[in-house]
Amino acid sequence: MGTLICAPIMVQDSGRALEIALQARDLGADLVEFRVDDLFSGDDADAENILDLVRRSPLPCIVTCRPTWEGGNCDADDAERVALFERLGTSDHPPRYIDVELAAYTRSANLRQKIDLAVEHPRQVRDVKTSLILSTHDFVSRPSDLTRRVLSMGAHDAAAVHKIAFNARSLRDNLELIDIIAERSKPTIALGMGEFGLMSRVLAPKFGAFLTFASVVPMEVTAPGQPTIRDLLDLYRFRAITPETRVYGVVGWPVEHSLSPLVHNAGFEAVGHDGVYLPMPIAVSEDGGRDKTGAYESFKATMLAMIDHRGLDLAGVSVTIPHKQNLVRLARERGWSIDDTSEACGAGNTLTITRTQGRVTADVRNTDAPAAAACLADVLGDLKGKRIAIVGAGGVARAIAVGVSALGADVLVANRTPERAAGLVADLAKAASANGAASAIEIDKLPSSGAHAIVNATPVGMAGGPAPDESPVPAAVIKDCPPDTVYFDTVYTPFETPMLALARARGARTINGVGMFVRQAAMQAQLWTGKPAPAQLFERLVREKLAGA
Ligand code: NAP
C-alpha cells in the first residue's frame, strides 16, 4: 500500500464537516481525520453526534479528540475521552482509526486497558475493526526526549500506527523525521509542522510513511507548511514519488512564492525525469539578512546536511536571494567545481549533485547570466560590439553584465549608489570571461543615445516593490532615445511595467522578465535531466500563474 493522503477536518458542525469530507474524496484524498475537539464536551449527546458523523463519512476516517494539553481544543478529561473511544471502537460503524496521545495512553494502566479493548491488535482480532494511532506532538520545536518517545511507542503492541509531529525549526529537522520513518517498526507518520516541514510531508512516499496530511483549502494560517490536496497531487505529483525519486528544490529566503516548483515539477513530468522539486527555505537572521555571517553559517550547515544525507537523494538545487553568493563561497571552501560565469558574478544559482559509487561531486553554475544575454540576443542578434546600459548594480545587474560581456557587448552601469556601480565595473574588468568594455555612470546621467538596449535590473516598477508606478528610466529619456532602442525589464510582475509601457508607446521593442526567468530555469532543468527542457511549457505556466495571481 502506498502512502495515504489524509484530509484533516476541524469539526464545528457535522453537516459542514461531511461536505468537506466529500470534497476531500473528490480531490483524491484516501481518508479524513475528524478533529472532534470542539464537538466533544464529555457528554453522551456529543458522542452520539460523533458516531453519526463517522457512520456518514464518505471516506474511511480517523477520529481525534485532541486535549488542550497537547495543542487541541478539547477540555474533556482523559476518562471522558477514553469513554468516547470505547463507544466508537465497539460500535457497528467504527472509525478506521482512533488517535490517542502517547502521554494519555501511558499515564494510566486502567485507561490504557480500556483503549486496548476498543481497538484491534495482535491479541484481539475483530470483524469490524478500528485501529490505534499512538501520537505525540510538539508545537514549539523538536522535543528533547524525542528518542525516548519513539522507543516508548514501540513498547505498546496495541498501536497499529505511530505518529510523531513537531515544529520543524529548519530544513534539517526533516532529515531526522525521514530517519524515523526509515527505521520504523510499525507504519509511521513523521512530519514537521510549520513552513520548514513541507519536505517531510511531500516526501512521505519516498520513505514509506503511512500517510501525509493535506487540506482541502489552503491552511497557511492554521497549519503553515501543510499542502493542499491539489498541490500535493498536481504540483508535487505525490502519487509518482517512489523511493528512487530524486529530490530538487529552490533554496532561498523567503521562497514560499517562488515559481520554480511550478515549472520544474511540470518539466520533470514532461521529459519523464523521476524527480520532485520543493521550496527549501533557509532563513537569515531577523535583521533581514544584513547579518551575512549568520546567513552563511545556516546555509552551509543546512546544505551540507542535506547533501550528506544518504536517503534524501538531493540531486539539484536552484539558489536564490539571499544565498547566491553563499553558494560560491561554500563551493570554494569545499573544492566544488565552479563555472567561469559564477566566478565572474561572485554568485551562482544552480547546484548539481552527482553520486557515483557513494562518491558525491557538486558543480556550481550561473544560468541567470546566459539567460539574460540570450533574451537580449534574441532581439539584438549578435551582441558583439553592442552597447548595453544596465540600471542597477545588484545581483541581477551583475549577472546581466557578465552574461552580455562574455558575448562581447560593452556595458554601461547606472546605479542609485554610484560606488556599487563602480565596484561592479571593477570586478568585470578582472573577470576572465569578460570580452567587452565596461563603465559606470550616475543614474540621473543616463544618456538618451548610444545604447542599443536599456535594462532595468532594479525592483522599480515591480508590483509590491518600492516604486510600483515608476519607471527607473525617466519618460523624457525614453522619448529622446532612438526608436530602435530595445528595453528589457527583468521585473515580471506586472508583465508590462511602467518602463515597458513608456517604451511601447514610443514604438520601441520590449522584453519582459518572464523570458529570463524561464530561460534560467530551462538551463537548470537541462543540467539536471540531461534532456532539453520544455521552455514553452515553462513560459505558459508562468504566464498563467501570474495572470491568475
Ligand atoms: P538587489 O541585489 O537587491 O539589487 C537591487 C538594485 O536595485 C540595486 O542596484 C539597488 O540600488 C537598486 N534599487 C533598489 N531600489 C531602488 C529604487 N527605489 N530606485 C533606484 N534603484 C533602486 O536585487 P537583485 O537580485 O539584483 O534583483 C533586482 C530585480 O531583478 C528584482 O527586483 C526582480 O524584479 C528582478 N529579478 C528578475 C529575475 C528574472 O529571472 N527575470 C530574477 C531575479 C530578479 P542600490 O545599490 O542603490 O541599493
Express each pLDDT in 200-248 by its tens digit.
Answer: 999 999 999 999 999 998 876 667 789 999 999 999 999 999 999 999 9
- The sign of the torsion formed by the CA atoms of 65, 71, 76, 80 equals positive
Q: Please give the Cα distance from 271 to 535 (Å, whole number).
A: 11
Express each pLDDT in 458-480 by its tens digit: 999 999 999 999 999 999 999 99
Q: Which of 156, 162, 163, 264 is catalytic?
A: 163
Domains of the chain listed by start with CATH number: 4-241 (3.20.20.70), 249-366 (3.40.50.10860), 368-512 (3.40.50.720)
- Residue 455, H or E segment: strand 453-456
Q: Please give the Cα distance from 111 to 83 (Å, whole number).
A: 9
Q: How would DSSP label each residue in 179-198?
A: HHHHT-SS-EEEEEESGGGH
Mean pLDDT of 77-104: 97
3 state DSSP class of 141: coil
Q: Please give the Cα distance from 541 to 534 (Å, whole number).
A: 11
Express each pLDDT in 356-397 by its tens digit: 988 999 999 999 999 999 999 999 999 999 999 999 999 999
Give residue 394 CA to ligand 1 midpoint distance, Å.
6
pLDDT value for 294 = 61
pLDDT value for 221 = 62
- Known catalytic membership, residue 162: no
Give residue 437 CA to ligand 1 midpoint distance, Å.
23
Q: Please give the Cα distance from 304 to 301 (Å, whole number).
A: 5
CA-to-CA separations, 155 to 77, 105, 106, 204, 432, in angstroms, rounded:
25, 12, 10, 24, 63
**The Cα angle at residue 276 between residues 350 and 335, in degrees rounded to 5:** 30
Q: Is the CB of 546 under 6 A from ligand 1?
A: no
- pLDDT > 70 fraction of the chain, expressed in percent and rounded: 98
Q: Residue 288 pLDDT more than 70?
A: no
- Residue with the bigger pLDDT between 290 and 268: it is 268
Express each pLDDT in 405-456 by its tens digit: 999 999 999 999 999 999 999 999 999 889 999 999 999 999 888 899 999 9
CA-to-CA separations, 188 to 15, 136, 207, 494, 548, in angstroms, rounded:
31, 12, 10, 45, 38
pLDDT value for 289 = 47
Express each pLDDT in 190-200 by its tens digit: 999 999 999 99
Express each pLDDT in 158-167 by its tens digit: 999 999 999 9
Mean pLDDT of the chain: 95
Q: Residue 56 pLDDT more than 90?
A: yes
pLDDT value for 159 = 97
**The Cα angle at residue 70 between residues 66 and 72, in degrees rounded to 5:** 40
Place of cell 530524486: 246
Q: Is the CB of 542 under 6 A from ligand 1?
A: no
pLDDT value for 286 = 57
pLDDT value for 139 = 94
pLDDT value for 287 = 54
- Known catalytic membership, residue 137: yes
Give residue 186 CA to ligand 1 midpoint distance, Å.
51
Q: How far is CA 373 from the centre of its chain?
A: 28
